[in-house]
Amino acid sequence: MIGVEAFRIIGGRKLVGEIKVDGSKNSSLPIFMATLIEKGVYILKNVPNLRDIKTAIELLTSLGLRVENINEHTYRITNSGLTTLTAEYEIVKKMRASFLAMGGILAHAGKCKVSLPGGCNIGPRPVDLHLKGFETLGVKYKIDHGYVEATAKHGLRGGNIILDMPSVGATENIIMAATKANGTTIIENAAREPEIEDLCHFLNKMGAKIQGAGTSKITIEGVKKMTPCEHTIISDRVVAATYIVLSILFDGDIIVKGVDKEHLNGFLIKLEEMGLKYEISGNNMRILSNLNELSPINVKTMPHPGFPTDVQAPMMTLLSLIKGISEVNETIFENRFMHVPELNRMGAKIDINGDSATIIGVKELYSADVMASDLRAGAALILAALKAKGSTVVNRIYHVDRGYEAFDKKLKKLGADIERIKVEI
């Protein structure tokens, strides 16, 4: 028997106040990996304090970098050269984004050995597109005992890549490797997520020559040398969307601060379709409608700028409480409905049919012991528990700590009855 942390939440309390969105996890991770590229001192601001960031620090440290937390959300990373070119399984297995070290190490040294990340709860998540892209840049690789051993014998060279699908990670990994390649790289069908724009903004500040970030055609003209820089990470659009759902669930009594509207269009359009009225002034968002005024909708997850897969689970909690029938179609990951049986245990009425879910809105949810299967599923269950009658235990919240900074403390400030407890498994 081992003790793991869970949240005990007594739902039904009125939540009121302000909640602030932190810096983006999915932006911070590739940018942390990009500090592998060039020697020198980097300053990164607005970095969220999360388990995944701790894992990224562990990985960079294992490769010989020094990472210091110089104040709450600011880090100084010193790259005085890599002491090893191997990213070990023990670290990579904790977080798939560790595989992004490959692009950084290849740009730095032209060779590397990186553990394959393996599958995860939301699907097999292969890395074939990353590897195909590297091959086009002149990298030869073999897979041995779970590791990718890669070398660009004659140095990295530019090349033309058309991705089979707009993979976020593959786009980021290839961009990093291409920054110092000999010649120009063009990535077509590139992912267009704001986190890719943030990475390219950071790399261009270092002296990279990247054009087209945020579009599906990205051009990287290789340069010989880059210089470390200071950078402020963008705000987290998935955390923002989760907090917006929270505010809607509580009839708009929660003001969400740090919202970047431009990054949330695919989500906001759907809220508007539900009939939601809101106002955004500066980066603060206020919900003007009540929950019972909203209508059911159909949602299909798509690559950016479509509706984000990472918001699908929290959205499902919201749709569970909207009168009428909604549909959710998950097109990005194969196994991303693990929260559905858990929500159903809390009184939701959701039927899964392949990659679609039909949600019949219910009047209220009730408490039950449930389990977070992944990060966003965990967020969805916490939102449900805050609305549910009675005392809910959300188990395996280590998933939630990977992506939501101090979620329990922030909810407590709004008036939630939430407690971090230890349970035996």
Give residues in contact with ligand UD1 (CB under 6 A): 26, 29, 96-97, 123, 125-130, 165, 167-170, 191, 195, 309-310, 332-333
**Using CA atoms, how far apart are residues 167 and 193, in angstroms rounded to an integer?**
10
**If 0-12 CB within 10 Å is exposed, 13-18 middle and 19+ buried, where does residue 112 land?**
buried
CB atoms within 10 A of CB 337: 23
CB of 40 to ligand UD1, least distance (A): 24
Q: Which is nearer to ligand UD1, 24 or 179 (CB)?
A: 24
Partner residues linked to 221 by β-bridges: 184, 209
CB of 124 to ligand UD1, least distance (A): 6
Phi, psi of 137 (to 5 degrees): -85, 10
Taking the complex as a whole, how short is the minimal distance between the CB of residue 213 and ligand UD1, in angstroms?
A: 15
Decide: helix, strand or coil at residue 197.
helix
Least Å from the CB of residue 195 to ligand UD1: 6
Which of 195/342 has CB closer to ligand UD1?
195
Residue 106 CB, nearest approach to ligand UD1 (Å): 16
Min CB(121)–ligand UD1 separation in Å: 12
Q: Could you write out the DSSP letters of every residue in 320-341?
A: HTSSSEEEEE--S-TT--THHH
- Of the pair 250, 404, the CB lying nearest ligand UD1 is at 404
Q: Which is nearer to ligand UD1, 128 or 262 (CB)?
A: 128
Q: Which residue, 148 or 416, has its beta carbon nearer to ligand UD1?
A: 148
How far is 53 from 73, CA to CA, in rounded Å?
A: 11
**What are the catalytic residues?**
120
C-alpha 364/C-alpha 386 separation (Å) is 11
E strands along 233-305, which residues? 254-257, 278-281, 284-287, 298-300
Of 178 and 322, CB closest to ligand UD1 = 178
Burial class (CB within 10 angstroms; exposed 0-12, middle 13-18, buried 19+) of 157: middle
**Could you please report the per-residue DSSP string of 358-380?**
EEE--S--B--EEE--SHHHHHH
Phi and psi at residue 405, to the nearest 5°: -70, 125
Q: Report the residue number, 26 or 235, with the smaller CB distance to ligand UD1.
A: 26
| Spatial separation of the C-alpha atoms in residues 164 and 304, rounded to whole Å | 16
Query: Smallest distance from the beta carbon of 363 to ligand UD1, in angstroms?
Result: 31
Edge-to-edge strands, sheet with 3-10: 369-371, 391-395, 3-10, 417-424
Walk across the sheet containing 356-360 and list its strands.
Answer: 298-300, 325-329, 356-360, 349-353
Residue nearest to ligand UD1 (CB): 169
